[in-house]
Structure 1
């Protein structure tokens, strides 16, 4: 097993909280140096303080991953501070859900795709050529089981995460034999603050929080599992049993799975109307 995550010179987006913060702390425990990027520089600095308290080395960078120029500036800053970049964790993301297609505002679609999909596209577009030129390193893209479960009333989120899975699979094919490894993380429920996102209907968020409290993994466990899998050269990481079961069921019986997902959607709470539809 390669130990490419040991002493890595890493960039983590969305590092101000949740899974991103957990990645930063776990990489620091492995002796790495971490550039902690986040839209909110204050929370990124809080992560840096936690890394330093744990004996690691990190800096904070304000970055909106939906903006290409921001990601290019992040690359320049990371290259200058780290000397080289070994690992990029494209983690930044937002939640979206609660309304069916046709009722969910197009603005929600644009924001979800801008952060969740275009943010990862920008990260890969900017950093992959550098890694390929080095002939070493890794990319970890954070998707979701939503990328293949296609749960009702979550279309924008589902589509954004499905795009991340497809992008990661394509990258793995393109980078085969180059020394650059690709991993895509597809968890189900993780105990983070994503359920409080501005694009999630409050009723749906309340249900998701309850499920996460009971069945969700901690972000620290997810980050540790993913980095270990990346060291083993695994493309897909489905850390929870429910993610693995849904993955297999959909591939073995896609039509029955779609009917099952539709039936489950009927049990979802009826959300309050979105502001644009009041």
Structure 2
């Protein structure tokens, strides 16, 4: 679906990939509803949008609040007259610890944001999208959604759930006007640890291998190119592409490679 002239809602629009998606959608001629839990972060997105902000609305919302999400379509339609697509980008990681050392509060927080946030958005907006002549749902999973990452096991489980939710939705909507895309980013140069309230120990970070990252700008461009081409799946970064191929051929070896990279963070 070409985004020019369309209205797209983006979760996590106050920082990282989400903010870049908002700005690049505006560049491509879309109207955008930026959603984020932080009013301050959204204000910065508006500032960066400059004159393009006349096609931008902001909505302070917690994606884990089902009632708040269910009120969004009316607010977005009031601001823009229509809603043609959603990009579920908001997400958090877990503390860098093994499952045995992870408390239930942290587990539930990750699942609530990463899975239930996507579910609430999708269920809420789908009836509206089905009425449009062309519409699109983009859900951001992760390389960790198809490949085990020790120390991020619950995060990976949440993103694997997003993967299969999105792929199942794609099949269910095959005969409709709604296209569906699942996105698998590798390592992206964002502040996701900070925004997740997670900091790895400094000693562990010093030992951790340096990993090549993809910029949020490039990640957003790749996602929007995939959206406009109605791609089934989008892989972001050479790491995600390489590990996707290796995991298909030799899953145990691929898992061992990631373990070696992560073990310094696990103690």
Change (3 A) 1:211 1:93: farther
Q: 2:226 aligns with which of 226, 229, 244?
A: 229
Q: 1:250 aligns with which of 243, 247, 251?
A: 247
- My pick for the range that moved more, 48-57 or 14-23, is 48-57
Q: 2:157 aligns with which of 153, 156, 159?
A: 159
Q: Deviations over 1:60-80 (max 9, x none)?
A: 111110111111112221121
Would you say the 8 A contact 1:28–1:56 is kept in 2?
A: no
Consecutive unaligned residues in structure 1, runs of 5 or more: 271-278
What corresponds to 1:36 in structure 2?
34
Deviation at 1:53, TM superposition (A): 3.5
Q: How many residues are aligned here?
A: 266
Is structure 2 residue 154 aligned with structure 1 residue 169? no
Mapped partners of 1:49, 1:200: distance in 2? 27
Q: 2:212 aligns with which of 212, 215, 218?
A: 215
Mapped partners of 1:205, 1:44: distance in 2? 34
What corresponds to 1:276 in structure 2?
none
What corresponds to 1:15 in structure 2?
13
Would you say the 8 A contact 2:97–2:266 is kept in 1?
A: no
Alignment map for 1:13-162 (pairs within 5 Å): 13-54=11-52, 56-162=54-160
Would you say the 8 A contact 1:189–1:211 is kept in 2?
A: no
Deviation at 1:58, TM superposition (A): 0.7
Change (3 A) 1:198 1:27: closer
Change (3 A) 1:48 1:199: closer
What corresponds to 2:191 in structure 1?
193
Would you say the 8 A contact 1:190–1:219 is kept in 2?
A: yes
TM-score norm. by structure 2 comes to 0.92
* 3-state SS of paired residue (1:61): strand
Deviation at 1:54, TM superposition (A): 4.2
* 3-state SS of paired residue (1:133): coil
Q: Deviations over 1:224-272 (max 9, x none)?
A: 11111111111211121110111111111223333444444434352xx
What corresponds to 2:265 in structure 1?
268
Mapped partners of 1:47, 1:205: distance in 2? 34
